[in-house]
Amino acid sequence: MNPIAVFKQTWLEAKELKDASASYCTLATISSSHQASVRTLVLREVNDDSFSLFVNETSPKWQDLTNSKKIEILVFWPSLMQQYRIRGNVSELSRSVMEAHWRKKPYGAKIIDHFYAQKQPQSSVIGSRELLLQGIDELKQKYPSGEEIPYPNNARGISLQATYIEHWKNSPADRIHKRHEYRLTEGNWKEFILVP
């Protein structure tokens, strides 16, 4: 069984159920000082073998990613009471893929990427909200809505090519929940049953 095909089908079901978590995932990274960090990100795309996320190069998570590629993505869909944990090989999305996404990105999100590039890095401390809004306003004047906004080099994307997937499925009747582990071995997915 291909667990990614099952993931995609289940993801579709969660979207149809209007599960607010269906758009997101949790990304876990490790810093150079071995500090674990988790945060919510938009789950952008799932292909036949990989999961795509967008990450700003100025952010602490990007620093973590340059330190260690041993990341994990977690997805939990409350509407279905199912969880996925995904590990694998990380690579960077190509510039052409990122530029194609950039063209579809909402205006406000583009302005924020330029803020990170030209004003202050993502997750850095800023003196006040007024200062933040002032910086945003300056960028809105520089790049008016409706005009073409240049792609900033700090908008990066990663692809996690899955080699390990763990699926947890609620079994409310007996509370003996179903857990399956899938490992990609020589191009084939091997399935294991885990003690819940």
Q: Which phi-psi region, left, alpha or beta, contains residue 18 (left: φ > 0; alpha: ψ -120 to 50)?
A: left
**Does 66 contact ligand FMN by CB under 6 A?**
no
DSSP code of 173?
T
4 within 8 A of 46, measured Cβ to Cβ: yes
Q: How far is residue 109's CA from residue 113's CA, in Å, rounded to a whole number? A: 6
Q: Are 163 and 87 in contact (CB under 8 A)?
A: yes
Spatial CB neighbours of 26, under 8 Å, sequence gap ≥ 6: 38, 39, 40, 41, 73, 74, 75, 76
> CB under 6 A: which stretch of 57-65, 84-92, 146-154, 155-163 binds ligand FMN?
57-65
* Candidate list 5, 42, 131, 194; residue touching ligand FMN; CB under 6 A: 42
Contact flag: residue 39 with ligand FMN (CB under 6 A): yes
Out of 6, 28, 30, 41, which residue is the one contacting ligand FMN (CB under 6 A)? 41
60 near ligand FMN, rule: CB under 6 A = yes
Query: Looking at 37, 47, 68, 124, which residue binds ligand FMN (CB under 6 A)?
Result: 37
Cα separation of 62 and 158, whole Å? 10
Answer positive or negative: Cα dihedral of 47, 89, 61, 180.
positive
Choose one: 9-17, 35-43, 85-93, 127-135; the region binding ligand FMN (CB under 6 A): 35-43
Residue 38 contacts residue 27 (beta carbons within 8 Å): yes
Q: From 38-46, 132-140, 146-154, 173-181, give the range in contact with ligand FMN by CB under 6 A.
A: 38-46
Q: Which stretch binds ligand FMN (CB under 6 A): 59-67, 83-91, 92-100, 164-172?
A: 59-67
Q: What is d(CA 115, CA 162) in angstroms, rounded to the nearest whole number? A: 32
For the segment 7-26, give every residue that binds ligand FMN (CB under 6 A): 24
Identified binder of ligand FMN from the candidate list 10, 22, 61, 167, rule CB under 6 A: 61
- Told to check if 36 binds ligand FMN by CB under 6 A, we report no
Q: How far is the CB of 114 from ligand FMN (least distance, A)?
A: 14
Comparing CB distances to ligand FMN, the nearer of 118 and 171 is: 118
Binding site for ligand FMN (CB under 6 A): 24, 37, 39-42, 54, 56, 59-61, 122-123
